[in-house]
Amino acid sequence: MSYRAPWWLPGGNAQTIWAAKCSRRHAGAAPRWRRDRWSTPDGDFIDVDHAVYESRADAPLLVLFHGLEGSSESQYAIAFADFASRNGLAFAVPHFRGCSGELNWAPRAYHSGDHQEIDWLLSRFASLNPARPLIAVGISLGGNALLRWAAEWGEAAARRARAVAAVCSPLDLAAGGHAIGRGFNRQVYTRMFLSTMVPKAMRKWQQFPGLFDRDAMLRARDLYEFDNLFTAPLHGFKNTEDYWARASAKPLLADIRVPALALNALNDPFVPASSLPRQTEVGHHVTLWQPAQGGHVGFPVSHGPLGLPGHVLAMPEAVGAWLLQHC
């Protein structure tokens, strides 16, 4: 992807925040959604939003896995829905547990390395849409989980999906976790995430009293502490270090056997450039795009005579075109 940020948005933080808060996300009408609730094998549920528009019965299905605390209302989901509608694709956003606006039922949530959940979801999509080629994109946390799935399932993943892409994913979770816990990131992004994650965790504690240390959770001030109290123990990890090490996709990228794209801006405030994989580390099935600018799921583009207002349609266009090459 060849990308250059607008002159009036210097730096990764500006490109990240403006894209999330101020950008135009769709060229045509805003997407409309139809929601399905899927029952999971462990007695829980996942809500899936399908974009409502006409597409050919044999057109590809693009599945988007959202990022931390994301949903079908996230700016990137709307932008990818716009791309899908303009290109005649079916489009769906499965919500990770607890992210659809209703608390899930089981004593668990979601995490960066949940390749079993990804496999169950993609298997369900494939069985419900056998005539449609399946392609998938994951954003940030969702992209790490998607590439973990591609690596863990190897040839089986290649038979399931035509191609996958990860956008701005912290493929080295420890590097990303420490980066978001420092300085400006800690004051802005960490507070933003914890403002929704902690209340949801407390509601989960009300469902299952004693599930974790409630008082310690109320004192949590960064994602390291949150993961140590909640994410790691609820999903089978010993602690934060164990979770970040075992859930990271980077060490397994060479095992991927399906065409896979990893897009990371070098100025992403969440993902240190030094932690990104090199082409020699990933094998020939994986393509790396690492532009100098873009921020975290930003990639805003100027529009109009003065460069304002801007939009975030260029990244979905580039990633979507790459995925379609493999259909």
> Which residue numbers are catalytic?
140, 268, 296
Distances (CA, A) of 110 to 53, 103, 170, 235: 29, 12, 16, 8
Question: Residue 316's closest CA among 291, 304, 295, 298?
Answer: 298
SS3 185: helix
Residue 86 C-alpha from the chain's centroid: 22
Q: How far apart are CA 64 and CA 66, in angstroms?
A: 6
Q: How many CA atoms lie within 13 A of 213 on its CB side?
A: 11
**Does residue 258 contact residue 157 with C-beta atoms inside 8 Å?**
yes
SS3 4: coil
Residue 206 CB coordination number (10 Å): 11
Question: Residue 38's closest CA among 112, 115, 110, 97?
Answer: 97
**Does residue 65 contact residue 168 with C-beta atoms inside 8 Å?**
no
Question: Residue 77's closest CA among 53, 94, 102?
Answer: 94
**Number of DSSP helices (H) and strands (E) in the chain, helices first:** 12, 8
φ and ψ at residue 134, rounded to 5 degrees: -105, 125
